[in-house]
Structure 1
Amino acid sequence: MEFRNLAIIAHVDHGKTTLVDCLLRQSGMFREGTLSQECILDSNPQERERGITIFAKNCAIRWRDYKINLIDTPGHADFGGEVQRVLRMADGCLRLVDASEGPMPQTRYVLRNAFESHLRPIVVINKIDRPDARIAAVLDEVLDLFISLGAEDTALDFPVLYASGKHGFARRHLTDTNTDILPLFEEIVKTVPPPRGSPDNPLQLLVTTLDYNDYVGRVAVGRVFEGKVREGQKVVRIAREGTQHPASVEILYAYEGLTRGRVKEAVCGDIIAIAGVEGIGIGDTICDVAQPQALPPVPVDEPTLTMMFATNTGPFSGRTGKYLTSRHLRERLWKELESNVALRVETTDSADTWRVSGRGILHLEVLIETMRREGYEMIVGKPNVIYRRVDGETCEPIEHLTIDVPGSYAGAVIELLGARRGQMLKMEAKGDRTHLDYTLPSRGFIGLRTRMMNATRGEAVLHHGFHGYEPERGAIPRRSGGVMITTETGRVTGYALEGLADRGVFFVKPGDEVYAGQIVGERGEEDDIDVNACRKKKMTNIRTSTAENTIVLRPPRTMALDAMLEYVEEDEWVEVTPAECRLRKRELNESMRFKARREARKVES
């Protein structure tokens, strides 16, 4: 049996899942009706909600005398740690593009890495049955994209197939009439080179992904580059730093369709999973005992954004979360490091505070949201960009941004991006919509999605990816007003909010529980003020005999996690719990905050 290892590079909603579904069905591996899951590859809850691929996944298809290993790649630069690892397992890539939307910027990062790895591309223009399909123009856009990413001449001579995953066909020419996906199978076998290596050579297996199983513990996924591996075989594990550790392969898995099953032996070229190797980590090499030789570890891009994580010190701590202590938080962050190689966690002077750095705001946001859903409580600080010195100049990370928006909202979008130091690359009309290309500092992207949706009434389609480091572009305006901080712990009353209505906008509503030091609203003036959001109406004999007035309040401003991360300042925390997120001051005590403000004014003067 021959192997073909293929990475799938596709933007969300371009038909990746449907196409893989067709390949699985038409390979004959599954009966009709057995593939019922709507998203085969994007199975993580956050992947479905956010519409992005976060974690790389594998599936295997047997077709004739070939086993085709399909590797789903994260499309976002924030998960570049995953991208660079999984591409090491592939020998070719399948670039899937929507026949109407064309190539999107989020996949530029993956493509650039694919070309740097010298992977041969196959281009599939999908959804050619769409009424607004612009097939020839999209093909030109793909070619322009490949050239701009520095593709080699061999990569520019790529095969093109025209497909409809919905109707289950792939065609070499638009005039063809076949109704199956056979041409795609044939092109994969023809274009993607067979894996190098020989089963007679000493074993070399590179670990690229980690999984966990409740029964067997840590499971390492990787590709066998040389030799073969058997269940029960004695091996040597060479860690990333070069140290050697004797080990044994207790359980061996191979991929079949969407699942993996136990096998007795696997040979070079296959993508497998092993269990029972103590201490195994990403980037480790599993070698033959007689001739241990490490494979080069996968390089990973350095983080671009950092923020502080700490244990929740608020008075409501422990109400909804299961994991609250510094030990819980430290163990969870260190566990994340085992599989999330692009993440960095550093200790600080405080035993219950850590500095966590990632590839972007989305990378860190997904980590916070995952931990929140697992039952963790924590407080996180303001995200800060990690600057670099390049040729003696301070440089910051820059994102490449693409927006499609109705023409009537283009002005609002341009104004919003201009305030965040965005630089326009291109602007063109596509029917009644406007297409905008921008470069934008990474710090300008924090909270941008929420503001963009508000400015365009939810009609903007926004995609972004890492562009590179450029000289710092200057200050980005933060919030202009101060905040209102409650001085009492209890339930918010309508009476209190009515009395404060002319002070600003509230983040809470009557009946919400708040505590002293929590931020309950924003005011129009610059300084912060302390308010009592729990003040009750004092009842007198006169008042009890008179009718109550109806209180009319404006609806509170609600903020998602990403909006809170943009809003928070250096002296504030975002409190994250399984039930809700809150904004609070680092110092909850009113008199201590007053002293700190007074000291700050002395320093300034």
Structure 2
Amino acid sequence: MSNKKIINIAVIAHVDAGKSTLVDALLKQGGAFRDNQEVIEQVMDSNDQERERGITIYSKNCAIEYKDIKINIVDTPGHADFSSEVERIMKTVDTVILLVDSSEGPMPQTRFVLSKALELGLNPILMINKIDKKDQRAIEVVDEVLELFMELDATDEQLHFKTIFGIAKNGIAQFSLEDEGKNLDPLFETIVEQVGTYPIELADKPLKMQVSSLAYDSFIGRLGIGRIFEGKIVEGQTVSVVKNDGEVRQGKISKLTVYQGLAKVAVKEAFAGDIINFAGIEHISIGDTVNELNNINAMEPIIIEEPTMSMNFLVNNSPFAGKVGKFVTSRNIKERLEKEMEINVGLKVEPLNNPTIEGFKVLGRGELHLSVLIEQMRREGFELALSKPEVIFRKEEGSKELLEPMERVIINVPTEYSGTVINKLNQRKGLMIDMDSDGVRDKVIYNIPLRALIGFRSEFTNDTHGEGIMVRSFNGFEPYKGEIESRKNGVLISMANGKTLPYALGNIEERGTLFIGPQIEIYDGMIIGQHSRDNDLEVNPTTGKKLTNTRSSGTDDSVRLTPPKLMTLEEALEYIEWDELVEVTPDNIRLRKRWLSSTERKQHRNDNKKAID
């Protein structure tokens, strides 16, 4: 491959702003697909969970051709929990396309991803998307974005950002709202004009590249992915690898590929400016610098924000342990978590302080960040018991003041429900920053402790009858806000082993809400529902109706049960308290008490969570 003109860009935005849809359009108009090729939507979201959840989880690369220029594109996640995926790729690009919805305007995650781009000195290009919406207010949104730039201390050059208007799903971009859009040429022209191609003369310097991502190939092993900042890299070349801690090792490049459309194409050499995949160095890690042999020129390590939430991944010790899962031991869990840490830079794993408990403390960016990993492990055949998610507190050096992570929350609800939502956010130590209303819906912005939002989403959905929208992102650390009231209701606990029977469940559902239906295998200590009162209640869901010799009309009426409330993994994790666990197996998600027998629970009734963690 010749040393050609190259530009690297990333598409950043809040979730649902249309990033993956825009990348689809760029690929189509950049010649990545044949004319008769059938192409699925959000083609970059190739992971099963990405397609099921409708979100981007992992940053991914592709490349297109515009005139005589190769444009490498990085599609990034929009959800706050996966912000580490955005942080680590920012140094590999020349500019970012900041995508903002023409109706919603800048959202919490918009602030985060934009701040990272501005910190690195990038000059973003603003694209106002979905201008075909009936409630679009594109001009107002541009002003709101300008205010956001100023709040984030953008330089004068960054404040003079170029603005494009468009409809990503139709592959249209235009310089003004009055123009008639035909294709994405205005966006391509703006990218080329603002950024310019990577200086070709840098290819004559000694090799300097940094690894921003990792992948794994079952045939050739671990792959390093990153941008060549200077020089060129050649297949078969022996290189020096500078680790993040300064240690220098040697390695040999066994295979080299670059991006062409969605495919990886094998090449013999690659030059400054390009984003490459290379194999052959098993010890490579994110942030490592690759230099020519004995010509060390290390780059600054990639700094990732610290995790804000933790959860204990424990060995499953329920009566059903090992019946379905293939990987059930602490060694299996440890190996899987170590493998995940190699590619998931926002994740940390620590041993538990308690030697009597088998498991690990896993630290991540939020409930979704951790639940995606748990779901992936479940699909791979793992069994786990999971503790209640907890936020990570910190203390500044030289200070005794306890700090806790905060979230910036934007809530959009019908006016008739806003009073209830505001009241609950106030009770959870939230501070209202702004409120606006159009008479039909209210938009409320809050700064609130992260721990106050654990378990709030399902409550919010119920309070707003499913019509409320809540988006959130990390908003730094602030002094500890004090105690926050937890779940008000107790739970219904099975006191027997066996299968649930309709007759027993019919009597039990008068006491609360059931989480399971009839003919379900249960065990002593398993949570089968929510009690209508604030205390836990032990029940027997396996009791059958006593038979008599007398039969008369009406005595054998069938039991009609209310459909049970089936919990997703995220809902289960939000729901449990400190003395409860979520049991995850390849085919089931169960709630249970940490101590299964009634006697053990009485012994630990006065314990607190610190005593067991």
TM-score normalised per structure 2: 0.93
Match of 1:408 among 392, 405, 416: 416
Match of 2:263 among 259, 262, 274: 259
In the alignment, structure 2 segments of 5+ residues that lack a partner are none
Superposition pairs for residues 170-181 of structure 1, below 5 Å?
A: 170-177=173-180, 179-181=182-184
What is the CA distance between 1:222 and its match in structure 2? Answer: 0.5
1:99 aligns with 102
Superposition pairs for residues 509-528 of structure 1, below 5 Å?
A: 509-528=517-536
In the alignment, structure 1 segments of 5+ residues that lack a partner are none
Match of 2:349 among 328, 345, 351: 345
What is the CA distance between 1:500 and its match in structure 2? Answer: 3.2
Preserved contact between residue 205 and residue 286 of structure 1 (Cα < 8 Å):
yes
1:354 aligns with 360
Q: Distance in 1 between matches of 2:464 and 2:120?
A: 39
Q: Distance in 2 between matches of 1:344 and 1:352?
A: 17
What is the CA distance between 1:291 and its match in structure 2? Answer: 0.5
1:299-357 deviation line (CA, Å, top 9, x unaligned): 11111111111111111123332222222111111111101112110112257310111
2:43 counterpart letter in structure 1: I
Preserved contact between residue 310 and residue 391 of structure 2 (Cα < 8 Å):
yes
2:191 aligns with 188
2:80 aligns with 77
2:172 maps to 1:169:
yes
Q: Distance in 2 between matches of 1:437 and 1:572?
A: 32
1:377 aligns with 383
- Structure 2 CA distance for partners of 1:129 and 1:555, relative to 1, 3 Å: closer
1:483 aligns with 491
1:364 counterpart letter in structure 2: L
- Structure 2 CA distance for partners of 1:28 and 1:530, relative to 1, 3 Å: closer
Preserved contact between residue 325 and residue 585 of structure 2 (Cα < 8 Å):
yes
What is the CA distance between 1:398 and its match in structure 2? Answer: 0.5
Preserved contact between residue 76 and residue 107 of structure 1 (Cα < 8 Å):
no
Q: Distance in 2 between matches of 1:293 and 1:478?
A: 52
Q: Distance in 1 between matches of 2:145 and 2:527?
A: 48
Match of 1:366 among 362, 372, 376: 372
Preserved contact between residue 326 and residue 351 of structure 1 (Cα < 8 Å):
no
Q: Distance in 2 between matches of 1:598 and 1:451?
A: 28
1:209 aligns with 213
Which deviates the most, 66-75 or 587-596? 587-596
1:414-449 deviation line (CA, Å, top 9, x unaligned): 233223222211111246222111112111222322
Secondary structure of 1:252's counterpart equals strand
2:406 aligns with 398
1:332 aligns with 336
Q: Distance in 1 between matches of 2:321 and 2:36?
A: 47
2:550 maps to 1:550:
no
1:31 counterpart letter in structure 2: R
Superposition pairs for residues 13-92 of structure 1, below 5 Å?
A: 13-34=16-37, 36-92=39-95
2:454 aligns with 446
Preserved contact between residue 447 and residue 562 of structure 1 (Cα < 8 Å):
no
- Structure 2 CA distance for partners of 1:543 and 1:582, relative to 1, 3 Å: farther
Secondary structure of 1:198's counterpart equals helix
Preserved contact between residue 24 and residue 42 of structure 2 (Cα < 8 Å):
no
Preserved contact between residue 12 and residue 51 of structure 1 (Cα < 8 Å):
no
What is the CA distance between 1:465 and its match in structure 2? Answer: 0.8
Superposition pairs for residues 571-582 of structure 1, below 5 Å?
A: 571-582=579-590
2:538 maps to 1:534:
no
1:157 aligns with 160
Which deviates the most, 524-533 or 264-273? 524-533
Preserved contact between residue 209 and residue 229 of structure 2 (Cα < 8 Å):
yes
2:440 aligns with 432
Q: Distance in 1 between matches of 2:44 and 2:605?
A: 52
1:189-240 deviation line (CA, Å, top 9, x unaligned): 1112544671122212211111112222211111111111011111122222
Which deviates the most, 207-216 or 446-455? 446-455
2:386 maps to 1:386:
no
2:309 counterpart letter in structure 1: L
- Structure 2 CA distance for partners of 1:487 and 1:288, relative to 1, 3 Å: same
1:303 aligns with 307
What is the CA distance between 1:89 and its match in structure 2? Answer: 0.5
What is the CA distance between 1:152 and its match in structure 2? Answer: 1.4
Match of 2:7 among 4, 9, 30: 4
Percent identity, aligned pairs only, is: 46
What is the CA distance between 1:394 and its match in structure 2? Answer: 1.5
Q: Distance in 1 between matches of 2:376 and 2:552?
A: 50
- Structure 2 CA distance for partners of 1:351 and 1:530, relative to 1, 3 Å: closer
1:311 counterpart letter in structure 2: V
Secondary structure of 2:477's counterpart equals strand
What is the CA distance between 1:126 and its match in structure 2? Answer: 1.9
Preserved contact between residue 131 and residue 167 of structure 2 (Cα < 8 Å):
yes
Secondary structure of 2:572's counterpart equals helix
- Structure 2 CA distance for partners of 1:12 and 1:545, relative to 1, 3 Å: closer
Preserved contact between residue 430 and residue 449 of structure 2 (Cα < 8 Å):
yes
- Structure 2 CA distance for partners of 1:534 and 1:301, relative to 1, 3 Å: same
Q: Distance in 1 between matches of 2:433 and 2:422?
A: 12
Superposition pairs for residues 197-236 of structure 1, below 5 Å?
A: 198-236=202-240
- Structure 2 CA distance for partners of 1:163 and 1:564, relative to 1, 3 Å: same
- Structure 2 CA distance for partners of 1:283 and 1:453, relative to 1, 3 Å: same
Which deviates the most, 2-11 or 314-323? 314-323
2:570 maps to 1:567:
no
What is the CA distance between 1:179 and its match in structure 2? Answer: 1.8
What is the CA distance between 1:57 and its match in structure 2? Answer: 0.7
Preserved contact between residue 324 and residue 587 of structure 2 (Cα < 8 Å):
yes
2:233 counterpart letter in structure 1: V
Q: Distance in 2 between matches of 1:4 and 1:242?
A: 30
What is the CA distance between 1:178 and its match in structure 2? Answer: 5.1
What is the CA distance between 1:387 and its match in structure 2? Answer: 0.9
Secondary structure of 2:35's counterpart equals coil
2:497 maps to 1:493:
no
Which deviates the most, 532-541 or 457-466? 532-541
Preserved contact between residue 485 and residue 529 of structure 1 (Cα < 8 Å):
yes
Q: Distance in 2 between matches of 1:350 and 1:261?
A: 51
Secondary structure of 1:170's counterpart equals strand
Secondary structure of 2:27's counterpart equals helix
Superposition pairs for residues 122-137 of structure 1, below 5 Å?
A: 122-137=125-140
Q: Distance in 2 between matches of 1:209 and 1:249?
A: 16
Preserved contact between residue 108 and residue 409 of structure 2 (Cα < 8 Å):
yes
2:512 aligns with 504
Q: Distance in 2 between matches of 1:172 and 1:268?
A: 32
Q: Distance in 2 between matches of 1:564 and 1:104?
A: 27
TM-score normalised per structure 1: 0.94
Secondary structure of 1:161's counterpart equals strand
What is the CA distance between 1:385 and its match in structure 2? Answer: 1.2
Preserved contact between residue 490 and residue 534 of structure 1 (Cα < 8 Å):
yes
2:332 counterpart letter in structure 1: H
2:470 maps to 1:466:
no
What is the CA distance between 1:106 and its match in structure 2? Answer: 1.9
Q: Distance in 1 between matches of 2:52 and 2:574?
A: 21
Match of 1:278 among 275, 279, 282: 282
Which deviates the most, 169-178 or 542-551? 542-551
Preserved contact between residue 107 and residue 465 of structure 1 (Cα < 8 Å):
no
- Structure 2 CA distance for partners of 1:544 and 1:250, relative to 1, 3 Å: farther
Preserved contact between residue 32 and residue 262 of structure 2 (Cα < 8 Å):
no
1:320 aligns with 324
Q: Distance in 1 between matches of 2:314 and 2:495?
A: 23
- Structure 2 CA distance for partners of 1:154 and 1:57, relative to 1, 3 Å: same
- Structure 2 CA distance for partners of 1:158 and 1:239, relative to 1, 3 Å: same
Secondary structure of 2:604's counterpart equals helix
What is the CA distance between 1:145 and its match in structure 2? Answer: 1.5
Which deviates the most, 115-124 or 275-284? 275-284
